[in-house]
Amino acid sequence: MKIAGSDILVETLIEQGAEVVFGYPGGQVLNIYDSLYLKSDRIKHIITAHEQGAAHAADGYARATGKVGVVIATSGPGATNLVTGLANAMLDSVPMVAITGNVPCNLLGKDSFQEVDIVGITIPVTKHNFMVTKTEDLADTIRQAFRIAKSGRPGPVLVDIPKDVQVNTAEYEPVPVVEPFALKTASEEAIEKAAAMIAESKKPYIYCGGGVISAGAEKELALLSEKMDAPVGCSIMGLTALPVSNKRNLGMTGMHGHFVASKAKNDADLVITLGARFSNRATGNVAKFCQGAKMIHIDIDAAELDKNVTVDLGIQGDVKDAISRIIEKISPAFHPDWWKEIEEIKKFEAENTAAQIGTLTPYDVIETVNSYLPDDTPVATDVGQHQMWAAQKYRFETPRTFLTSGGLGTMGFGMGAAIGGCVATGKRTVLFTGDGSFGMNLNEMTTAVSQNLPLIVVILNNGVLGMVRQWQAAFYNEHYSQTTLERKTDFPALARAFGAKGFAVTNVDELHAAMKEAVETNGTVLIDCAIHMDERVLPMIPPGGAIENMILS
């Protein structure tokens, strides 16, 4: 039977496993919204306050579950509002499908009302994108989009659908959920070489990126580190791959990572990198990066091998498969001397890192909030100092519980991401945000409240764009250009205006009281935490610096 393109679209979304989609209606997606209305018992649509929020929600949904997140927007401004969300998902390799409407085919290229070339605009920020010009092609294009989004290294795919393609009819036959393209696997020779290098190593180190989580290789990672007796350091995207309680987990490396995690990597004689791309924030000065170590890099994306860092052994392949095969080839090792060295570094870090200064310190906030939440709580962040403090201090025990903008560093990501994570898991969710970042997309409080989401928004309120201020203090003669906000916003009152609960706290006791109430609340709660404006994120490797330049105090 022939059905309208808009019905084909919605049927195909359902067919491909989309249970919830995020979006915002408009002129060129009216037909799609009509189909969503008629099929609302089979697919849930959540309207956000802004398309950017919807894109981040789809992203948070995908991060929390590994499923493909879906966002829908109208043509023109609706579509351009997705761009940041797509770039964010692209840089963090998050599987997403974005659907945009466009003007009918006969009006394309005429600068029609709300016409933009969203396919052209989003080429650099999507894994792939499509414009569908015939209704007959629609179902297969959507399937292709899902397939590309979740295959290999995941990423966002946009499908632009002109209005007439939504209106016209075509045959539709449901098909099963599309399988990802077959994964490349490492060659036997490469696995043997890696195993031989591991056998020779006295001071091995595993550097874990987000690819380990994408591949679902968390168990294999733990086994590998155990069998090699090797410490594990993570890029920000790799956090949650290994529980914080695992004794071999040294935590985050890089610019604001733990000193021990970066120093051990620097001092190792072998660094095995799994599903990471060596971003400049993670490496600092690449010329001085892990100079003394032999390097193995395993990634599903061949283009990442030797892109930023030249390695001794680059292996293209699924990390899950590669790790399992390496584990089989190696014998259990014990490196007590290496661990003694690492313990010394840990001690040095503990003794030499400057203490935080305020009455309610940033670490107090993270730790106190953490103490009220179960291990499987989704934890979202915005971008800035608060993000780094959360990455350093939160005790992540469960994979996919950290929803943070690693690659793009998108202020304003947090609200949408937290909503997506909360909707996806049905679990009470926490957002650590900053007073600056929250200002970017606080409109999404409306979404959290209207959906009655059990979301706790924790603002680490320093009254400044703290991360930028920290750089101005360190490198720009304390010229605090445009980073002292001097806003008078009453955040708890604002929360109440949105229909949420709001608290302001200035010390740990008040925070305990607020958290007690927050975890008993069936709905959205905001806690405004007053922290000192001169708190710094430490340690810090200055941009372009190396481990010896790391600032601890």
Ligand X SMILES: Cc1ncc(C[n+]2csc(CCOP(=O)(O)OP(=O)(O)O)c2C)c(N)n1
Q: Which of residues 131-160 bind other proteins (CB under 8 A)?
A: 131, 148
Per CB under 5 A, residues contacting Mg ion are 434-436, 462, 466
Per CB under 6 A, residues contacting ligand X are 382-386, 409-412, 434-437, 460, 462, 464-468
Residue number, 155 or 454, with CB nearest to other proteins: 155
Cα 15 from Cα 18, distance rounded (Å): 7
Please count the residues of this chain forming the interface with other proteins, following the rule CB under 8 A: 13
CB of residue 543 to other proteins, shortest distance in Å: 20
Binding partner selected for residue 123 from Mg ion, ligand X, other proteins, none, CB under the kind-specific 5 to 8 Å limit: other proteins
The owner of tokens 């309208």 is: 4
Region of 532 (left: φ > 0; alpha: ψ -120 to 50; beta: rest) is beta
Region of 122 (left: φ > 0; alpha: ψ -120 to 50; beta: rest) is alpha
Q: Which of residues 442-471 bind other proteins (CB under 8 A)?
A: none
Residue number, 109 or 174, with CB nearest to other proteins: 109
Using CB under 8 A as the binding rule, whether residue 188 contacts other proteins is answered as no
Binding partner selected for residue 307 from ligand X, Mg ion, other proteins, none, CB under the kind-specific 5 to 8 Å limit: other proteins
Using CB under 8 A as the binding rule, whether residue 302 contacts other proteins is answered as yes
CB of residue 52 to other proteins, shortest distance in Å: 23
114 is catalytic: yes
Measured from each CB, the residue nearest to Mg ion is 434
Using CB under 8 A as the binding rule, whether residue 267 contacts other proteins is answered as no
Using CB under 8 A as the binding rule, whether residue 303 contacts other proteins is answered as yes
CB of residue 485 to ligand X, shortest distance in Å: 8
DSSP secondary structure letter of residue 551: B
Contact, 51 vs 27, CB < 8 A?
A: no
Residues 510-548: b if buried by 16+ CB within 10 A, e if exposed: bbeebbeebbeeeebbbbbbbbbbebbbbbbbeeeebbe
Q: Which residues pair with 206 in a beta bridge?
A: 232, 272
Region of 293 (left: φ > 0; alpha: ψ -120 to 50; beta: rest) is beta
Residue number, 370 or 462, with CB nearest to ligand X: 462
Judged by CB under 8 A, the residue of 19, 267, 269, 301 near other proteins is: 301
10 Å CB burial of residue 338 (0-12, 13-18, 19+) is buried
Cα 216 from Cα 3, distance rounded (Å): 38
171 is catalytic: no
Residue number, 203 or 469, with CB nearest to ligand X: 469
Spatial CB neighbours of 351, under 8 Å, sequence gap ≥ 6: none
List the catalytic residue out of 19, 114, 307, 341: 114
List the catalytic residue out of 467, 515, 540, 550: 467
Residue number, 116 or 531, with CB nearest to Mg ion: 531
CB of residue 220 to ligand X, shortest distance in Å: 33
Contact, 446 vs 516, CB < 8 A?
A: no
Binding partner selected for residue 409 from ligand X, other proteins, Mg ion, none, CB under the kind-specific 5 to 8 Å limit: ligand X
CB of residue 386 to ligand X, shortest distance in Å: 4
Residue number, 31 or 483, with CB nearest to ligand X: 483
Cα 365 from Cα 462, distance rounded (Å): 12
Binding partner selected for residue 411 from other proteins, Mg ion, ligand X, none, CB under the kind-specific 5 to 8 Å limit: ligand X
Residue number, 286 or 333, with CB nearest to other proteins: 286
CB of residue 129 to ligand X, shortest distance in Å: 23
Residue number, 109 or 374, with CB nearest to other proteins: 109
Element (H, E) at 460: strand 455-461
Residue number, 95 or 406, with CB nearest to ligand X: 406
Contact, 363 vs 258, CB < 8 A?
A: no
Judged by CB under 8 A, the residue of 307, 329, 335, 512 near other proteins is: 307
CB of residue 87 to other proteins, shortest distance in Å: 12
CB of residue 189 to ligand X, shortest distance in Å: 43
Binding partner selected for residue 296 from Mg ion, other proteins, ligand X, none, CB under the kind-specific 5 to 8 Å limit: none
Cα 366 from Cα 427, distance rounded (Å): 19
10 Å CB burial of residue 180 (0-12, 13-18, 19+) is middle
163 is catalytic: yes
Binding mask 101-130 for other proteins (x = CB under 8 A): ------------------xx--xx---x--
CA 463 to chain centroid, in Å, comes to 25
Cα 531 from Cα 363, distance rounded (Å): 10
Q: Which of residues 379-418 bind other proteins (CB under 8 A)?
A: none
Residue 86 half-sphere exposure, CB side, CA atoms within 13 Å? 30
DSSP letter string, 103-162: --GGGTTTT-TT---HHHHHGGGSSEEEE---GGGHHHHHHHHHHHHHSSS--EEEEEEE
Q: At what angle do helices 413-425 and 51-65 cross, to 10 degrees?
A: 50
Cα 441 from Cα 438, distance rounded (Å): 6
List the catalytic residue out of 11, 15, 51, 218: 51
List the catalytic residue out of 67, 127, 150, 163: 163
State yes or no: cis peptide before 332, omega within 30 of 0. Answer: no
Nearest Cα neighbor of 362 from 470, 264, 283 is 470
Angle at 233 between CA 228 and CA 234, to 5 degrees: 125
CB of residue 15 to other proteins, shortest distance in Å: 21
Please report, as ranges, the residues that interact with other proteins according to CB under 8 A: 119-120, 123-124, 128, 131, 148, 301-303, 305-307
Catalytic residues: 51, 113-114, 163, 467
